[in-house]
Amino acid sequence: MRIRNLFPAVLLFLGFLGACSSADDKPEALLNVVLIDAPPLYDSVFVEIFGVNVTMNVQGRETEEQTFFIEYELGDKQVKVSDYVGGEVLLLGREPLPPGQIIGMELEIGTSNYLWESEDRYNLPLVETATTLIPIDIEMFLESGLSYDVVLDFDLEKSIQTVNPDPLTLSFDPYLHVLLPGDLGEIYGTISQDQLRPAIFAIQDGDSTSTHVNEDMGYYFRLPEGTYDLYFDPKNDGFLADTLLGLEVVAGESQTLDLLTFRIKP
């Protein structure tokens, strides 16, 4: 079971929405990039984001390979990811794209990444083996007039490691994987104790994805169809962890779980 370094998780949602026409009347698809579901385990977490590179074999050009850059256009590239939980979203960029085969993506980040805990700021330097161009393994064919969605799970639970606990020193090794919304189901739930900021893990086949609660103590997952175990970490030594085993997720369906109350340690 790969559960380690209990830090926030980020989801990036990329939507290929509808189709449009350019000035020379060539059909195109519109790519929207928004940021969602970044949990507030710390007071605030900032990641420097510049945009997304989309590499395609463009239709009708003898499979000519082209790369399109979808820029995050705000002047301040420091994205406070801890603001985007419980359905709150941030539009990172928008760009019309021609029909063709997407053969890869890269999320382009910077090196000025950090988090705040209480009144202390901690830098998130990239590990030696990491790069500011984070590869995204994806293949998808875009047809004009159709809508396509892609979800990127930017999992900070796995991306941030503790190098030294005292003084606290951290490192950053960005980790992403791709989810396709057509294969996804949704899970909603709520924690009763508003004094806690728990981490929640959805575990399948020894791997996990994670999230945290928003200000209303609600949590939310988009997951591929299948069977999952949920692990609830209270992040507080005074309470016991909890589990929910054998949760069935069905593509295209949403389910709301019973209110969870952590038990106090005896």
Output the six-digit token pair for 122: 């901690």
The helix (run of H) or strand (run of E) holding residue 159 is helix 156-159
> What totals of helices (H) and strands (E) does the chain contain, helices first?
1, 22
Output the six-digit token pair for 235: 């992040």
pLDDT of amino acid 23: 38
- Cα dihedral: 137, 141, 143, 145 (round 10): -40
Q: Residue ranges of the domains in the chain?
A: 1-179, 182-266
Q: Are 229 and 247 in contact (CB under 8 A)?
A: yes
- The residues, ordered by sequence, that sit 6+ positions from 175 with a Cβ below 8 Å of its Cβ are 154, 155, 158, 159
- The residues, ordered by sequence, that sit 6+ positions from 166 with a Cβ below 8 Å of its Cβ are none
Closest residue by Cα to residue 216 from 103, 87, 119: 87
Residue 11 to residue 152: CA distance in whole angstroms? 6
202 strand-pairing partners: 209, 230
Task: Count other Cβ atoms within 10 Å, centred on residue 100.
Answer: 21
pLDDT of amino acid 131: 92
The helix (run of H) or strand (run of E) holding residue 41 is none
Residue 165 to residue 163: CA distance in whole angstroms? 7
Residue 66 to residue 5: CA distance in whole angstroms? 38
Q: Model pTM?
A: 0.71
pLDDT of amino acid 37: 46
Per-residue confidence of the chain (266 residues) as pLDDT tens digits?
333 333 334 445 554 433 343 434 556 776 656 554 444 456 678 899 999 999 999 887 666 789 999 898 887 898 887 666 555 667 777 788 888 899 999 999 999 999 888 889 999 999 999 999 999 888 888 888 777 777 777 777 778 888 888 888 999 998 877 777 677 899 999 999 999 989 898 999 888 888 888 888 998 888 889 999 999 999 899 999 999 999 999 998 999 999 999 999 99
**Regarding the domain delimited by 182-266, which CATH topology (the fold level of the hierarchy) does it fall under?**
Immunoglobulin-like (2.60.40)
